Amino acid sequence: MALNLIMLGPPGAGKGTQAARFAKERGIPKISTGDMLREAVKTGTEVGLRAKAIMDRGELVSDDVMIGIVRERIDRDDARAGFILDGFPRTVAQAKALDGLMETREPLVVIDIVVPESELVRRLNSRVVCSNCGMNAESVAPQDIELVRCRYCGGRLVQRADDNESVVLERLKVYRRDTQPLVDYYCSRATFRSVDGSQPQHRVARDLAAAIEAARNGRVGLGVKS
């Protein structure tokens, strides 16, 4: 039985890390908005060429183009057993269009990773990336950045430019404004669950797995009606 999963959560909630971990354990693809756009452009499909033209003009990719890219991606053979969407949908309009794509598939399981704002600010203020390979690293105290190296390539760690406190607070404000309606859209479904993301990663992973199984057991038939 296919597992089709959406991960919601604010910046710093750890949804990307948990999605990648869960996808590897279950053998299903983790599909992010950025990955989909890059692949669509690289493969040169009709919708990919449309997206490239839009991005080359410095414009945002429209909902209809993103939906076309999602449709192409989840129709691939590697997604037959399911998929994890990370960063999509971002709007209720996209969510409604996704429901249309899911009408003949197993229903979406939607997990919202919840973390208090104070903890998100702390995490994002201490988040660092590798200056060489760009991989995210575990939170590191500012005084220790020069002492720690990337575990993947040994590169020097630096703080992300968009992770200072004022920018972090603005990003969280935008998330609440734009993405909270998505939570409201999904929360009444039998396949919706929330997980406490303020715990250590291994506990979040444990609760995530349990929440997904509980949501699947609570499903009500195939597809979702708007």
Residue ranges per structural domain of the chain: 3-28+81-217
Q: Is 90 a catalytic residue?
A: yes
Q: Is 122 a catalytic residue?
A: no
Among 149, 171, 216, 219, which one carries the catalytic annotation? Answer: 171
- When pLDDT is cut at 50, 70 and 90, the band that residue 154 belongs to is confident
| Arithmetic mean of pLDDT over the chain | 82
Where do we find the tokens 């945002």? 60
Establish whether the linkage from the previous residue to 107 is cis, with ω within 30° of 0. no
In the chain, helix, strand, coil percent, each to 5? 50, 15, 35
Q: Is 96 a catalytic residue?
A: no
Output the pTM of the full model: 0.76
Query: What confidence score (pLDDT) does residue 223 get?
Result: 38
Query: Spelled out in words, what is the top-level CATH class assigned to the domain 3-28+81-217?
Result: alpha beta
Q: Is 15 a catalytic residue?
A: yes
Q: Is 216 a catalytic residue?
A: no
Among 42, 160, 173, 206, which one carries the catalytic annotation? Answer: 160
Among 30, 50, 127, 193, which one carries the catalytic annotation? Answer: 127
d(CA 13, CA 114): 7
- When pLDDT is cut at 50, 70 and 90, the band that residue 85 belongs to is very high
d(CA 101, CA 79): 13
- When pLDDT is cut at 50, 70 and 90, the band that residue 137 belongs to is low
Among 15, 21, 30, 50, which one carries the catalytic annotation? Answer: 15
Among 71, 90, 149, 216, which one carries the catalytic annotation? Answer: 90
